Amino acid sequence: MTYARARARDISRLVGLLLEAGDVDIVIGSRFVDGGGSEAPGWRENGIRLITGLVSNHGLSVTDAQSGFRVYSRRALDVLTLVEQGMGVSTEILLKAGERGLRVAEAPIDISYDEHSSTHNPVVHGLDVVLSTVKHLSMRRPLLLFGLPGLVALIVAAIFWIMTLQMFAATRTISTNVVLVALSATIVGLMLMTTGIILWVLISVVRERT
């Protein structure tokens, strides 16, 4: 992990916003709102913005989904049941907060990073968070996450199968490359569609019984 230092006034700002607002459940210290700042390298900031975009499109609208500098209300602690063991918990919290109607606010923070303080491989860290986010999104919108790409793959497959038939009708020959693309797209499309439908049914059954 990377050791980062926030300023004492940032702590007071977050706690004060939570207490003064009254109806806010989570306050995130954001490096990317007006007044915030970060010494993180560009590649790290781009990764944070990518993950934040995933969360904002399927949960709460925030600017810094990877900030661990947060304040929680008693209500948030009571209603959030978390399962992630790694860094993916940062996005799990926000996705579940959005589901449960919790209100999230952001306050600017200024973060400084210790030199050579990272003990986690950044690639492994990023994959952990992205895969965790995709997992939770798949449990919420399986037809969108798997079914839609599967449908696109089947449409591509249909186009290449038609090309194969037209080529055979015209020349009595078959292009191996075209057939391989058609076959691959068919397999991928069917797998994605089947996965999306199975997950959708399972999740629907679980929700009906809870």
More confident residue, 138 or 72: 72
The DSSP bridge partners found for residue 106 are: 28
pLDDT at 11: 84
DSSP string for 42-105: HHHHHHHHHHHHHHHHHS---S-TT---EEE-HHHHHH------STTHHHHHHHHHHHTT--EE
The DSSP bridge partners found for residue 37 are: 110
More confident residue, 194 or 44: 194
Residue 25: CB atoms within 10 Å: 22
| Closest among 105, 101, 199 to 146, alpha carbons compared | 199
Q: Cα separation of 203 and 149, whole Å?
A: 19
Q: Cα separation of 197 and 118, whole Å?
A: 41
Dihedral angle sign, alpha carbons of residues 36, 42, 48, 51: positive
| Closest among 39, 6, 10 to 106, alpha carbons compared | 10
The type of residue at 206 is: V
pLDDT digits (tens, 9 = 90+) for 138-153: 777 788 888 889 999 9
pLDDT digits (tens, 9 = 90+) for 172-208: 899 999 999 999 999 999 999 999 899 888 878 876 7
Most confident of 11-15, 108-112, 140-144: 11-15
pLDDT at 123: 67
Whether 210 shows a pLDDT value over 50: the answer reads yes
Binning pLDDT at 50, 70 and 90, where does residue 1 land? very low
